[in-house]
């Protein structure tokens, strides 16, 4: 049994009793990476020398007070900036970018005494649903390396599923934590918008992006969210709300809990095995004392179009800063300043990034702004109101995380619209700004399936209570890929 097969609470005890050292834990992480990374390809950059030095320092420190994640190995998605540790967003345009500061979440990880093992592969600038849009190489699903791990946080989910790190950070703009978590059979949470600081997260769509935890089990997920949550004066969208003790959520009691199941989330396009796994999960929660009813989120059918208009519009503005002047690569073929912009962006950005910049620029252009961007903002409000109406009567909303299990690498790369549809069940959550968690709930042909639990604004505690109760009543989370 690897040390990384233990829960955080178990490792805490072993470290406290000095039955193991921090160096032992970090060794276990790098040994596993050396054993399986050539198959999984989850990491873009490793931080081995600095991580081992940190481990020795923590082992030699005479201290009674220890951080919440003392000595534990974590992987960080490569769009979260890390001081003196390369941050590329898996894009050639940032292939040489070494930040001079840490993101707020990284500062919080350091304060909790976690150790960053390396930076994780992703779809370029978080634009994608399969990790095939990485500017360097695709990450592979540990359950079957011929299949995608999901995206854009594919490296984050795959590294946890493969046992390379204890947990990881991802970012979620339209499902980019929950969808890969479902595909890789791990637990992924998208917090309420504003719960976690975005300072130091390279922006894709600023009104949608959220950093969140990916872990093997629900309890570990709460440890990580506890660490990274809170108001940040460096982020104007950070919410000034109290951070509860998420670790006290695990009561196991869901008696009287009212669950809403949107008929749109189990409609045409959702595979029969996925639908069956969700209904089986509802029966488990019923046996624990919860009740459920079918409801409607009528504007969900417009979510996909709304999301791609809004996110691409924000991306076209956010990515204007990558111009070859301030940081990142610079074209050697430019003849003048305008040519420098054009050549650098043409050479540095991948096809998917260019596609979304063009769509966003079109939606924001004169004559089309009202017809597309403003209309999409109005529909976003209707989607948010759908959720608010349901939450007047129900505690949580439950459905599948994805309409199908993972697909084969290369299967959908030539069909962007089909690829976009993989996020159809996760996108409404980001548009409404509410929290949601994906937990393993079954398998289809050896590939994991995910159950999505959606909650009220800043009510991650209820999500954890429900997810943990379901997890304890099943054994899906105990299954591991045979790499």
HSE value, Cβ hemisphere, 13 Å, CA-based, for 289 = 8
Which residue is catalytic, options 77, 108, 412, 456?
Answer: 77
**Both structure tokens of 220:** 């570990």
**261/152 Cα distance (integer angstroms):** 26
Q: Are 428 and 300 in contact (CB under 8 A)?
A: yes
Between CA 467 and CA 462 the distance in angstroms is 8
| Integer-rounded Cα radius of gyration of the chain | 21
Count of CA atoms in the C-beta half-sphere (13 A) of 60: 6
Cβ atoms of 438 and 174 within 8 Å: the answer is no
Q: Pairing state of beta strands 73-77 and 167-172?
A: parallel
**Residue 214 and residue 181 in contact, taking contact as beta carbons nearer than 8 Å:** yes
Show the CA angle centred on residue 60, arms to residues 54 and 63, nearest 5°: 100
Catalytic: which of 91, 130, 168, 176?
A: 176
Beta bridge partners of 120: 43, 77
Which among 412, 411, 353 is positioned nearest to 125, based on CA atoms? 353
- What's 464's DSSP letter? H
Q: What is the dihedral of CA 171, 174, 179, 181, to 10 degrees?
A: 20
1 is written with which tokens? 């049994």
Alpha-helical regions (H) of 41-177: 48-60, 104-111, 154-161
Do the beta carbons of residue 401 and residue 438 sit within 8 Å? yes
Q: Which residue's structure tokens are 């999960």?
A: 281
Max CA-CA distance within the chain? 70
Quote the CA–CA distance of 465 and 219 in Å, as a whole number: 10
Residue 120 in contact with residue 151, Cβ under 8 Å?
no
29 a catalytic residue:
no
Q: Can you spell out the DSSP letters for 146-173?
A: TB---SSSHHHHHHHHTTSSSEEEEEES
Cβ atoms of 438 and 450 closer than 8 Å: yes
- The tokens describing 149, both together, are 């791990």
Is 2 marked active-site? no
| Structure tokens belonging to residue 436 | 């949601």
> Which one from 91, 130, 134, 152 is the annotated catalytic residue?
152
Closest by alpha carbon to 25, among 55, 47, 63?
55
Contact assessment for residue 219 and residue 250, using Cβ atoms and an 8 Å cutoff = yes
* Torsion region of 392: left, alpha or beta (phi above 0 gives left; psi -120 to 50 gives alpha): alpha
The set of catalytic residues is 77, 152, 176
């Amino acid at each position: 049994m690897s040390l990384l097969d233990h829960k955080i609470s178990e490792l805490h005890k072993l470290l406290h009793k000095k039955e193991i050292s921090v160096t032992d834990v970090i060794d276990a992480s790098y040994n596993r990476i050396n054993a399986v990374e050539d198959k999984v390809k989850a990491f873009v950059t490793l931080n081995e020398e600095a991580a081992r030095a940190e481990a020795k320092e923590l082992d030699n420190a005479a201290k009674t007070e220890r951080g919440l994640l003392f000595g534990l190995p974590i992987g960080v998605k490569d769009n979260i900036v890390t001081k003196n540790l390369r941050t590329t967003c898996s894009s050639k345009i940032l292939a040489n970018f070494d930040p001079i500061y840490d993101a707020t979440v990284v500062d919080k990880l350091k304060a909790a005494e976690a150790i960053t093992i390396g930076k994780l592969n992703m779809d370029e600038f978080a634009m994608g649903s399969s990790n095939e849009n990485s500017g360097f190489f695709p990450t592979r699903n540990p359950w079957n390396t011929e299949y995608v791990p999901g995206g854009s946080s594919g490296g984050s989910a795959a590294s946890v599923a493969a046992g390379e790190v204890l947990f990881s950070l991802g970012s979620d703009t339209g499902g980019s934590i929950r969808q890969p978590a479902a595909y890789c059979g791990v637990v992924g949470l998208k917090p309420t918008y504003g719960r976690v600081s975005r300072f130091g997260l390279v922006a894709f769509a600023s009104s949608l992006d959220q950093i969140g935890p990916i872990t093997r089990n629900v309890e570990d997920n709460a440890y990580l969210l506890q660490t990274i949550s809170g108001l940040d004066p460096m982020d104007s969208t950070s919410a000034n709300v109290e951070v509860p003790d998420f670790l006290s959520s695990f009561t196991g009691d869901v008696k009287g809990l009212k669950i809403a199941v949107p008929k749109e989330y189990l409609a045409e396009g959702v595979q029969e095995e996925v639908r069956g796994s969700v209904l089986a999960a509802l029966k488990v929660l019923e046996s624990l004392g919860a009740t459920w009813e079918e409801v409607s989120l009528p504007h969900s059918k417009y979510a996909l179009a709304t999301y791609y208009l809004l996110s691409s519009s924000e991306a076209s503005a956010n990515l204007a800063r990558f111009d070859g002047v301030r940081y990142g690569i610079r074209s050697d073929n430019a003849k003048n300043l305008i040519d420098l912009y054009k050549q650098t962006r043409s050479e540095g950005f991948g096809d998917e990034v260019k596609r979304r910049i063009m769509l966003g620029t079109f939606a924001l252009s004169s004559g089309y702004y009202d017809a597309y961007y403003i209309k999409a903002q109005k529909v976003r409000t209707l989607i948010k109101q759908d959720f608010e109406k349901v939450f007047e009567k129900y505690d949580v909303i439950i459905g599948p995380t994805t309409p199908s299990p993972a697909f084969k690498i290369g299967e959908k790369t030539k069909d962007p619209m089909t690829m976009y549809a993989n996020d159809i069940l996760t996108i409404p959550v980001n548009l409404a700004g509410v929290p949601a968690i994906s937990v393993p709930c079954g398998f289809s042909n050896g590939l994991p399936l995910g159950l999505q639990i959606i909650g009220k604004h800043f009510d991650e505690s209820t999500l954890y209570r429900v997810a943990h109760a379901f997890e304890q009543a099943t054994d899906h989370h105990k299954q591991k890929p045979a790499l």
